[in-house]
């Protein structure tokens, strides 16, 4: 089966639900801030900071608000650097909206990262987190907290509080662990290393090979499996100059051990076909209503 069909043909035009995701970067100290989610959607996972875009709110205003609410960090809108969009679609049903998650980084802010009811902050080494992880370079999916030597469910506030106490946020970056990609949303381990390489390379040299930006096969727990002979746009080899990424992922859904609220989110797991594109411009506000993402503007 051609993976192109799997990813580009949505049977219906689906509603979109907008979210933000902000990743604070301390480039001088070679470190990345993530939050460990204590409750709600994504509980027990590490992620950037963000949440739903409220009605009558711009995406960037939501990004600023959610970062502040969840981390205590305060930024002005111009300091938000848009990096890309995640389009997360379930094929488990026809009615769940596509999650449209706008990804930003920030490099300057006011305030100090603070634990909130929703997230506890943890710094990770940027330079140690650049490689796309595979199970062999991780804890193979077992939930090993980077600051603890023993296995942990890591989902209770008490274990997270113990973790926070051990978090060496004032240590030198060389002491920090790499990002625990296998304790994040599944597709983060695909796009986030790409983004961090993009940022680290001073935006001049995006380390995305032709084979990596093309269609990607359905994913097993073995990690990404690029299909080299079906790149998205063979005529365009200038992807190293592109600024933004679009990561479109289809989830298979089903029973989810991480489901909360009676299984409301049970469709958002089981990463299936996906593609990662780099583009010059994001089609801001023009996502909704597109049947297929086969051709990006
Ligand atoms: N598969 C996924 N991959 C990813 O990288 N981020 C995801 C994701 N699914 C959800 N997110 C992010 C988007 C957003 O930043 C966050 C979810 O936001 P929440 O549901 O916590 O929203 P809110 O903070 O608005 O919620 P409440 O205040 O609890 O109503 O998780």
CA of 210 to the centre of ligand 1 (A): 30
- Ligand 1 pocket by Cβ (under 6 Å): 19-21, 40-42, 47, 50-52, 66, 86, 88, 99, 101, 185, 187-188, 268
User: Which pLDDT score, from 0 to 100, does residue 222 have?
Assistant: 35
Question: Which residue ranges make up each domain of the chain?
Answer: 5-284
Tokens of 260: 């909360």
pTM: 0.78
- Which 3 state secondary structure label does DSSP give 243? coil
Task: Please give the number of the atom of ligand 1 that sits closest to the Cα of 48.
Answer: 15
Task: Please give the number of the atom of ligand 1 that sits closest to the Cα of 22.
Answer: 15
Q: 190 and 247 in contact (C-beta within 8 Å)? A: yes
In this structure, the residue with its CA closest to atom 17 of ligand 1 is: 51
Task: Please give the number of the atom of ligand 1 that sits closest to the Cα of 192.
Answer: 5
- Residue 289 CA, chain-centre distance (Å), reads 23
pLDDT along the chain (297 residues), means of 10: 42 83 97 94 93 96 97 97 92 84 97 95 97 67 35 37 44 83 94 93 48 37 34 40 84 63 64 86 73 47
User: Which pLDDT score, from 0 to 100, does residue 210 have?
Assistant: 32
Question: Any idea which fold 5-284 has?
Answer: Nucleoside Triphosphate Pyrophosphohydrolase (3.90.79)
Residue 37 region by backbone torsions, left for phi larger than 0, else alpha for psi between -120 and 50, else beta: beta
CA of 41 to the centre of ligand 1 (A): 6
Instruction: Provide ipTM, 2 decimals.
Output: 0.94
Which among 24, 34, 101 is the best mutation to test ligand 1's pocket, defined by most ligand atoms within 8 Å of the CB? 101
Our CA angle for 258, 94, 49, nearest 5°, is 40
């Amino acid at each position: 089966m051609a993976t192109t069909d799997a990813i580009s043909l949505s049977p219906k035009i689906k509603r979109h639900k907008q979210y933000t995701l902000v990743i604070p970067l301390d480039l001088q100290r070679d470190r990345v801030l993530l939050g460990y989610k204590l409750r709600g959607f994504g509980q027990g996972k590490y992620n950037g900071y963000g949440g739903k875009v409220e009605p009558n709110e711009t995406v960037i205003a939501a990004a600023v608000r959610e970062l502040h609410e969840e981390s205590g960090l305060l930024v002005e809108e111009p300091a938000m650097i848009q990096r890309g969009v995640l389009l997360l679609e379930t094929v488990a049903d026809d009615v769940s909206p596509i999650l449209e998650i706008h990804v930003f980084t920030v490099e300057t802010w006011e305030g100090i990262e603070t634990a909130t009811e929703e997230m506890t902050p943890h710094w990770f080494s940027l330079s140690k987190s650049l490689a796309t992880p595979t199970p062999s370079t991780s804890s193979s999916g077992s939930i090993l907290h980077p600051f603890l030597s023993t296995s942990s469910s890591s989902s209770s506030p008490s274990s997270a509080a113990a973790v926070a106490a051990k978090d060496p946020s004032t240590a030198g970056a060389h002491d920090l662990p790499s990002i625990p990609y296998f304790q994040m949303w599944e597709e983060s381990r695909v796009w986030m290393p790409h983004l961090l390489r993009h940022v680290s390379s001073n935006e001049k040299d995006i380390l995305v090979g032709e084979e990596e930006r093309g269609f990607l096969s359905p994913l097993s727990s073995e990690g990404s499996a690029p299909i080299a002979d079906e790149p998205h746009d063979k005529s365009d080899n200038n992807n190293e100059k592109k600024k933004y990424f679009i990561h479109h992922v289809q989830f298979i859904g089903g029973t989810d051990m991480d489901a909360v609220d009676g299984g409301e989110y049970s469709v958002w797991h089981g990463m299936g076909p996906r593609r990662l594109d780099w583009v010059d411009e994001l089609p801001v506000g023009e996502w909704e209503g597109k049947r297929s993402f086969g051709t990006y503007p």
